């Protein structure tokens, strides 16, 4: 008898060809402007035997980029490139979600297309180093700029716009908001990266506000 993993399944309203789901894996294969190319198309097409794919962490804005060569979902070129990928995956019978990831303080200026400092809940640098193409090696992560209270809703709006771009324009079947592993939404949750004393900090009810609002 065949394993139940190979039988059709459901996630919410989605019917899947089988119960295999591919997790999001950062590839760093986009061009400098965050546009995924043919190699990304081939990568996801080759893995469309899974019932569903969750595509790699993708920034909702240039400000949300942390690593080199990660894709975005906020420009027309990025959206059009992702549309080619979702069409290819769907043609093979799989569903595909997009993981939307704002890196926050897990970032370096050399990996970004904007001169602004990385942003975070508080001006507390993350421990550790990050690879940049410019250095061709590892460099310390800089101290981020703390978001002003009035800026946080605008960051939340970036997630909303990115989700709409993904589903309504790029053809994804849904999105996953990355709120773990030390990235921006997780930074709001964690006391080692959130020392705020406004509505987005302090007690747990404040620290969850950005994530719940998103």
Catalytic site positions: 183
Phi, psi of 39 (to 5 degrees): -65, -35
3-state class (DSSP) for residue 91: helix
Rounded to an integer, what distance in angstroms lies between the CA atom of residue 158 and that of residue 60? 6
Task: Round to whole Å and give the CA distance between 40 and 82.
Answer: 9
Find the angle CA(78)-CA(83)-CA(87) to the nearest 5 degrees. Answer: 155
Distance of CA 85 to the CA centre of its chain: 16
Could you tell me if 122 and 196 are in contact, meaning their C-beta atoms sit under 8 angstroms apart? yes
To the nearest 10°, report the CA torsion of 60, 63, 66, 67.
Answer: 70
Picking from 86, 79, 92, 111, the residue whose alpha carbon sits closest to that of residue 49 is 92
């Amino acid at each position: 008898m065949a394993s139940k993993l190979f039988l059709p399944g459901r996630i919410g309203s989605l019917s899947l060809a089988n119960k295999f789901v591919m997790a999001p894996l950062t590839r760093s294969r986009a061009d400098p402007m965050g546009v995924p190319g043919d190699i990304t198309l081939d990568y996801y097409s080759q893995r469309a035997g899974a019932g569903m794919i969750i595509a790699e962490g993708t920034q909702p804005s240039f400000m949300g980029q942390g690593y080199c060569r990660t894709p975005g979902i906020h420009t027309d070129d990025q959206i059009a490139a992702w549309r080619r990928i979702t069409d290819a995956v769907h043609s093979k019978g799989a569903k595909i979600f997009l993981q939307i990831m704002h890196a926050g303080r897990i970032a370096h200026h050399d990996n970004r297309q904007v001169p602004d400092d990385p942003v975070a809940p508080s001006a507390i640098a993350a421990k550790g180093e990050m690879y940049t193409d410019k250095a061709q090696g590892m460099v310390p992560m800089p101290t981020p700029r703390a978001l002003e209270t009035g800026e946080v809703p605008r960051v939340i709006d970036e997630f909303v716009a990115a989700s709409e771009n993904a589903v309504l324009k790029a053809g994804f079947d849904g999105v996953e908001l990355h709120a773990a592993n030390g990235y921006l939404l997780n930074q709001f949750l964690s006391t080692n990266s959130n020392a705020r004393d406004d509505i987005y900090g302090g007690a747990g009810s404040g620290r969850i506000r950005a994530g719940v609002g998103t």
